[in-house]
Amino acid sequence: MRRVKAFLRGEHHWEVLGGQGQALGERVLEVDEVMIASQADGTLFDYLLDEEGVMPPARKRELGQEIGIVNIGMNTVDLLVARNGQTVQRFTSGDTRGVRRLLSLMSDGLYSLGELDQRLRAGDLDTSAALPVWEREVTGYLEDNWGRSFRRFARVIAAGGGALLLREPLLRVFGGKIWFPDEPIVATARGLYKLALMRARRRRG
């Protein structure tokens, strides 16, 4: 973590080229501060903060309660529960049953996992046979780790590309407690951006 922070902090210089390869000049970006956070943290703050990095009163009330995050990415399924912005360790875990696992169930040697991923993103992949198997694996993992405890959470946030694929099963598991971002695939990045806005506002204040 120290090495990542040291690498990112400071001035970064690069040359910009136009559409025909013509030089448009040098650009400089200076990074004053680096904060390392998990993907699930990004998902949490995407839910808690608005586009200006401000926490609405209704979200602020929920912050003091337990909020569960299910982040189903390409490689992993990450579970996190936070209260007052702090991780509740007993409910936090991760596993390698992400979307790649679905693709591996469909691999027949004709296409690489990368090619299957491209077809999935393009909406050109029939997942009907493998999806129920992967669904059972993911929902079984949720059951093993959270069981009925999620009923005590104020909210369960589902994000990542896998949340799009498993929307209906997640609704069946969590019912009215679940919340889906409007763009689950970018929820992590958007949440970390909102968090940076909030921290910058507090420094200025």
Rounded to 5 degrees, what are φ and ψ at 80? -145, 140
Claim to verify: residue 11 and residue 61 sit in the same structural domain: no
Integer Cα distance of 155 and 174 in angstroms: 9
Rounded to 5 degrees, what are φ and ψ at 177? -75, -20
Claim to verify: residue 46 and residue 100 sit in the same structural domain: yes
- CATH number of the domain at 115, please: 3.30.420.40
Claim to verify: residue 44 and residue 141 sit in the same structural domain: yes
Considering the chain, what percentage of its residues have pLDDT values greater than 90? 69
Claim to verify: residue 4 and residue 99 sit in the same structural domain: no
- For residue range 108-139, list pLDDT tens digits in order: 888 898 899 999 999 999 999 999 999 999 99
Claim to verify: residue 3 and residue 81 sit in the same structural domain: no
Which DSSP category does 195 fall into? H
Q: Which domain holds residue 137?
A: 38-204
Strand-strand pairing, 77-83 and 10-17: unpaired
Claim to verify: residue 25 and residue 76 sit in the same structural domain: no
Q: What is the pLDDT of residue 171?
A: 96
- For residue range 49-84, list pLDDT tens digits in order: 999 999 999 898 888 899 999 999 999 999 999 998
C-alpha closest to that of 24 among 35, 32, 16, 33: 16
Claim to verify: residue 2 and residue 54 sit in the same structural domain: no
Claim to verify: residue 12 and residue 87 sit in the same structural domain: no
Integer Cα distance of 4 and 164 in angstroms: 31
Q: How many domains, in total, are found in the chain?
A: 2
Claim to verify: residue 32 and residue 84 sit in the same structural domain: no
Q: Once rounded to an integer, what is the mean pLDDT over residues 102-110? A: 89
* Its pTM surpasses 0.75: yes
Claim to verify: residue 117 and residue 180 sit in the same structural domain: yes
Mean of all residue pLDDT scores within the chain? 91
Claim to verify: residue 186 and residue 101 sit in the same structural domain: yes
Claim to verify: residue 119 and residue 195 sit in the same structural domain: yes
Output the DSSP codes for 104-167: HHH--SSS-HHHHHHHHHTT----TTTHHHHHHHHHHHHHHHHTTGGGG-SEEEEESHHHHHTH
Radius of gyration of the chain (CA): 20
Q: Helices (H) and strands (E) in the chain — how many of each? A: 9, 8
Does pLDDT of 35 surpass 90? Answer: no
Integer Cα distance of 137 and 143 in angstroms: 10
Q: Once rounded to an integer, what is the mean pLDDT over residues 77-101? A: 90
